């Protein structure tokens, strides 16, 4: 994690049982993914939001760590989706132009421009030869690829990958996110020690997989009803 000091309606939040298929993988042998049902899931309450208090008017101060063009595209997407995004005080930006060795998952406070950046894995279908760089996006079921576009954060739950957060795709490029079980969760292969041993992170099956030690902070800053913007532009 790196800290930086400069910088409604699609509400179909799941109430019942989706079978999760977004199993995660890295190069090398892994146990086969097993399909789970609602019995495997239990709700999880939202973590406390950091620095909760009276909200100030939203400003658009650009965080230094986020590329200016990417930041402008993210703000345009936030405006484009209007009331679908209930909370517009913070956004997450996944800049997949960077390699998986870089902290490229940026949580940006739009009130003051401060941002916090985390390591995040991309899908194996986006990087078939495991170079550490995302080569392509896909919205296709079974592609195991990351998807491009705007995601609405939904409910927290505990499932196959432990504590996780469902995502709703807001664009044609990620409209299958919910049915593909593209979620936010943690994974061992997204921990910083992967960089020391392999020079890159492992790969997911399209989920935003962050390091195990970063999940609490990511969840606290995201919450439900906010936007994640995924791009390579």
**Residue bearing the bigger pLDDT, 45 or 66:** 66
**Do 121 and 201 touch, CB atoms closer than 8 A?**
yes
Query: At residue 31, does pLDDT exceed 70?
Result: no
Residue 109 CA to residue 170 CA, distance in Å, equals 21
**Do 84 and 170 touch, CB atoms closer than 8 A?**
yes
Residue 21 is predicted with a pLDDT of 31
User: Terminus-to-terminus CA distance in the chain, angstroms?
Assistant: 23
DSSP assignment of 15-35 equals -S-PPP----B-SS--PPP--
Helical spans, DSSP H, in the chain: 68-80, 193-198, 215-222
On average, the pLDDT of the chain sits at: 82
Position 184 confidence tier, pLDDT thresholds 50, 70, 90: very high
Phi and psi for 228 in degrees, rounded to 5? -110, 130
pLDDT tens-place string over residues 141-173 = 999 999 999 999 999 999 999 999 999 999 999
Length of the chain: 233
Position 40 confidence tier, pLDDT thresholds 50, 70, 90: very low
Question: pTM here?
Answer: 0.77
Residue 59 CA to residue 232 CA, distance in Å, equals 25
Position 62 confidence tier, pLDDT thresholds 50, 70, 90: low
Position 63 confidence tier, pLDDT thresholds 50, 70, 90: confident
pLDDT tens-place string over residues 11-21 = 333 333 333 33
Percent of the chain with pLDDT over 70: 73
Position 61 confidence tier, pLDDT thresholds 50, 70, 90: low
Could you tell me the domains of the chain? Answer: 41-135+144-231 (2.40.440.10)
Position 30 confidence tier, pLDDT thresholds 50, 70, 90: very low
Residue 120 is predicted with a pLDDT of 98
Residue 161 is predicted with a pLDDT of 93
């Amino acid at each position: 994690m790196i800290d930086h000091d400069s910088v409604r309606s699609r509400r179909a939040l799941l109430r019942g049982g989706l079978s999760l298929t977004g199993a995660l993988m890295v190069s090398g042998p892994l146990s086969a993914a097993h399909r789970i049902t609602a019995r495997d899931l239990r709700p999880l309450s939202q973590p406390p939001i950091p620095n909760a208090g009276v909200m100030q008017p939203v400003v658009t101060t650009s965080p230094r760590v986020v590329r200016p063009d990417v930041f402008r595209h993210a703000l345009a997407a936030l405006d484009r989706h209007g009331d679908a995004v209930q909370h517009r005080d913070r956004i997450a930006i996944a800049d997949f132009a960077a390699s998986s060795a870089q902290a490229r998952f940026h949580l940006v406070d739009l009130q003051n421009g401060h941002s916090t950046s985390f390591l995040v894995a991309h899908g194996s279908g986006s990087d078939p030869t495991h170079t550490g760089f995302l080569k392509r996006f896909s919205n296709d079921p079974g592609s195991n690829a990351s998807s491009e576009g705007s995601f609405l954060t939904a409910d927290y739950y505990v499932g196959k990958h432990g504590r996780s957060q469902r995502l709703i795709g807001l664009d044609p490029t990620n409209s299958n996110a919910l049915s593909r079980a593209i979620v936010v969760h943690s994974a061992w292969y997204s921990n910083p020690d992967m960089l020391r041993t392999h020079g890159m992170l492992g790969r997911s099956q399209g989920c935003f997989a962050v390091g195990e030690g970063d999940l609490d902070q990511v969840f606290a800053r995201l919450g439900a009803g906010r936007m994640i913007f995924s791009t390579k532009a």
